[in-house]
Amino acid sequence: MDLLQETLSRIVPQDVAIRAKAHARLEALTMPHWALGRLLDLAEDLAGITRSLRPPVTGKTIFVMAGDHGVVAEGVSKYPQEVTPQMVANFVAGGAGINALARQAGAVVRVVDMGVAADLGSLAAEGKILSRRIGPGTRNMARGPAMTRDEAVAALEAGIDIALQASTAVDVFGTGEMGIGNTTPSSAIVAVLSGRPTEEVTGHGTGIDTEQFAHKVQVIDDALHMNRPNSKDGLDILAKVGGFEIGGIAGLILGAAAQRKPVVLDGFISTAGALIAHTLCPTAGEYMIAAHRSVERGHCIALELLGKQPLIDLDLRLGEGTGAALAMNFLEAAVRVLTEVATFEEAMVSTANA
């Protein structure tokens, strides 16, 4: 808890003065006013986050937090739980969607075992994954709390520690995840924080049919009724209906914010983690960049709660950090515009008529 509290105390707003300087330069570039639209908004945001008119964005790492969920026993997913460790092995081998897109973006992929229900000790021992294991998956939230409050703190602090350990090499943090069944706790988190009916924030995950969807909604409703998470207490929400990897993502975000570095959010599960971080420290939201809008129904609502407009909308629903990898290209583009495009004065180009 000491690391969590210390981290929360270190998160401060973006630098307003640097933002203003960046804005003034962007307004003076050799183009019609704000002609590159939200790319210029992103450039201003990056300047405010990093306290620099030359924001560093070349060191990019996507942390794929992996964890299993006891609620899978309720039949909420189309895939069996053993897919989680199998996909971890695929990430390590470089054969997953996130590996391909991260390579294209020039980003490193680091896989973190937050609580997979399988023995990944050999991969950790070989340095192929990071082990921040809280336990062999959460408990079944439909039968009681997913984890203890102490475990929730441990998950958050694991994510914070990863951000701190990576601070010298990483300019931009990306969030990713792997965990069969994790859209169920994510939907529960969004339901708690939005106050919206469960069916409005729940999607079809990996492709469940209409009957399975109705069952999934009922399982989430039962879990919320049984556990009654406090919407004002991010730790309580995480402990009662969250996941170890969701806690790890929330901690990673808090750790990045404390170091004044941008963190690119992937899809629905990552944004559920961001909501936990935002509940614990609303100022952390100033360091979050929403990569994309997922087809998962609850993702739009989660983004609204954070006040974020995503950079892209490509009907993605894979997770793993794939949307974050794609969006990292836009961060580099935004910085190039801020630092390489000449102003009217620098280029000796006439400005528009008054």
Q: Residue 65 belongs to what H/E stretch?
A: strand 60-67
CA 82 from centroid of its chain's CA atoms: 24
Tokens of 186: 């994510």
Catalytic residue among 6, 157, 320, 340: 320
- Looking only at the bridges linking them, the beta strands covering 108-115 and 130-131 are parallel
Q: What residues does 177 pair with on adjacent strands?
A: 65
Dist CA 306 CA 309 (whole Å): 9
DSSP 74: G
Q: Are 280 and 235 in contact (CB under 8 A)?
A: yes
Dist CA 57 CA 73 (whole Å): 42
Dist CA 69 CA 89 (whole Å): 18
Q: What are phi and psi of 288, to 5 degrees?
A: -95, 135
CA nearest neighbour of 327 among 258, 271, 246: 271
Task: Specify the 3-state DSSP secondary structure of 241.
Answer: helix
Known catalytic membership, residue 320: yes
Dist CA 336 CA 244 (whole Å): 37
Q: Are 260 and 233 in contact (CB under 8 A)?
A: no
Task: Specify the 3-state DSSP secondary structure of 196.
Answer: coil
Q: What are phi and psi of 111, to 5 degrees?
A: -95, 135
CA 176 from centroid of its chain's CA atoms: 6
Query: Which residue numbers are catalytic?
Result: 320
